[in-house]
Amino acid sequence: MQSTNKVLMVRPVKFGYNEQTAGNNSFQVKGDQDLALKESINEFDQFVKLLQDNGINVIVVQDTETPHTPDSIFPNNWFSTHEEGDLVLYPMCAPNRRLERKEGVMDAIKENFKIANLIDLTSWEQKDKFLEGTGSMVLDRENMIAYACISARTDENVLEEFCDKTGYDFVAFGAYDQNDNPIYHTNVMMCVGSEFAVVCLDAITDLEERVQLIEMIEETDKEIIEISLEQMGSFAGNMLELRDKDDDPILVMSKTAYNCLENEQIQILSSYCRILTPDIKNIEINGGGSARCMIAEIF
C-alpha cells in the first residue's frame, strides 16, 4: 500500500523557531515566539479535526515540556513504519531533534503498530551522517523506491544502509532552491502518490539526474505533475496521500500550498484524490515544514 488510514501526530507544547535547524533550512523565518506557540497549538488542533472529520484515524501524542523539543511537531523525520513490520529510527542532524525520541511517542507507536523488526540507524549520528526519515526520503512504497536529494541532512551512506535493510532501491540526486541553496529535505520538492508524482524538476540542475528521475517515475506508471521553484517555496511539494475510512484517497497539503497551485494542477490532483487544505501558516513560517512533515504514517 502506498498510503494508509492511520497516522501519528505530536501536539506541541513549546513549538518555536529552532536555531539548531535554521542553518540549512531556508524555509524557516523567525517570528514572534509567544504568538508562534499559541498559534501552533490552534493550527495543530484544527488540522487534526480536519483529518478526523474526513475519516482519517489520527493518534495524537501530547509533547512534554522537558526536554525542550521545538520541532517535535514534525515526527516523520525520526521514525517510519512499514507494512512488513519494520520500525526504522533515523539519525537526526540537530542535537535537540534527537531528543524527540520520547517514551510517550514510542509507547504510542508500540500500541498502534506491531513491530516485527527494529532498524536503528541512529548510531550514524556519531559520525555526523544523517537521514531524516520521510523528510529525507520520499518513498514509493508499492514499488520499493526511495527518492532522495542529497544534503547535509541526507547522507548517501545512510541511505544505502536503509535500502540494504528494507529492500528498497534508491534514486539520489542534487536539488537546489532559487538561491542555489541545497534543498534540505526531499519532501519539500516532491510527493509520490499511488498514481501520480508531484515534482519540482527545475530544482534538479544536473540534467542527467533529472532525466533519471523522470524515467524512474514513468516506469512506475505515475503521472508527473510538475511544480515551479516558486511553488516549491510555498510548500507545494510537501503533500501526502492518505486513505479515508472507506479506502478512498485523500491528498493533504497546506492552504499555502493549495493557494499557489494553478487551476490545471488542482484539476489533475483532484482527479486522483480528494484534497484537504489545513491552514498552518504559523507552523510553516517558524518551523520551515508543512502539512506532510506533521504526519507520521502508521502502516
Confidence grade of residue 28 (pLDDT, cut at 50, 70, 90): very low
The model carries a pTM of 0.94
Instruction: Kindly report, residue by residue over 36-46, the tens digit of the pLDDT.
Output: 777 999 999 99
Cell of 291: 502539512
Give the strand order in the sheet containing 240-243: 240-243, 249-252, 274-276
CA–CA distance, 221 with 119 (Å, rounded to integer): 30
Count other C-beta atoms under 10 Å from residue 127's C-beta.
11
**Domain assignments of the chain as residue spans, ordered by start:** 6-298
Residue 199 has pLDDT above 90, yes or no: yes
Report the pLDDT value the prediction gives residue 14, as an integer from 0 to 100: 83
Is residue 155 within 8 A of residue 165, CB to CB? The reply is no
Q: In the chain, pLDDT over 90 holds for what percent of residues?
A: 90
Cell of 1: 500500500
State the sign of the Cα–Cα–Cα–Cα dihedral 148, 152, 157, 161: negative
Mean pLDDT, the chain, rounded, equals 94
Q: In the chain, pLDDT over 70 holds for what percent of residues?
A: 93
Burial class of residue 153, CB neighbours in 10 A (0-12, 13-18, 19+): buried
For 6-298, CATH number out of 3.40.50.150, 3.40.50.720, 3.30.1330.10, 3.75.10.10 equals 3.75.10.10
